Amino acid sequence: MTAAGVPVYTASPSDAALDVAVSHALLRQAAETGTEAMRVWTPPPALSFGRLDLLRPSAERAIAVAAASGLAPVRRLAGGRAAAIGPGTACVGWACPSPEMTGMQARYEALARVLVAALAAVGARARIGEIEAEWCPGAWSVLSGEAKVGGLAQRVIKGAAWAEAVLVVDGAASLAAALDLVQQALGVPWDPATLGQLSHPGAEVTPERTRAALLDTLAAERPLAPHTSLPAKVLSRAGTLRVAHALT
């Protein structure tokens, strides 16, 4: 945190693997310098594969299916299973210095609190939980009605942690269709109907409004220093880390 507040970056590279690498670079920076940083952004179209997905025998086929669907296949920085993201989604990430490899529960709770409050501000009722046969299953899913509209994940390294969340604001049908093809290729059972979105007729929500609400909610908790561009140092390091996340 600087004297002006915690840096929060709203820019996103158009290259999906580089976008993941930016978050990775902020995590490494937090571990090495003790510098907290955040991101609030909309990512480029991608299919994020988790470690367990990539260990499956049919992983290479699933990667090819994702690419053929128009979603860049990338290796996730944090968390579990395959997830489809793109222009209709909004993300928030937090690089948090952590001398001890503890505090995961507290970070989940803090990020979940921000998400629920921000979504309430745009008129969306959300809760944290888990539903059967959901995409990227986990206890820290963001639910609206009977569908999963987002999820939280973490990556912990020596000296720091990265906590992040993705919210599906609109475009759920196309994301579910692409993800279903990938899940079939992986041999992972799920119910495409579990992939929901925040925006509905009569209650339109946009990624822009969602990002603004996330920034406002975060700013109510701590001083922020918003940046519309990424630092050259972060981009340079992300360029080096990109290879760890590119799958094609």
Q: Which of 138, 131, 144 is nearest to 104 (CA)?
A: 138
For the chain, the straight-line distance linking the first and the last C-alpha, in angstroms and rounded, comes to 36
Q: Which of 161, 123, 166, 160 is nearest to 148 (CA)?
A: 166
d(CA 1, CA 34): 9
In the chain, where are the structural domains located? 6-242
Tokens of 233: 């140092």
pLDDT in tens, the chain (248 residues): 566 899 999 999 999 999 999 999 999 999 999 999 999 999 999 999 999 999 999 999 999 999 999 999 999 999 889 999 999 999 999 999 998 888 999 999 999 999 999 999 999 999 999 999 999 999 999 999 999 999 999 999 999 999 999 999 999 999 999 999 999 999 999 999 999 999 999 889 999 999 999 999 999 999 999 999 999 999 999 999 999 999 99
The answer, as to whether pTM is greater than 0.95, is: yes
d(CA 141, CA 167): 10
Q: Which CATH architecture has domain 6-242?
A: 2-Layer Sandwich (3.30)
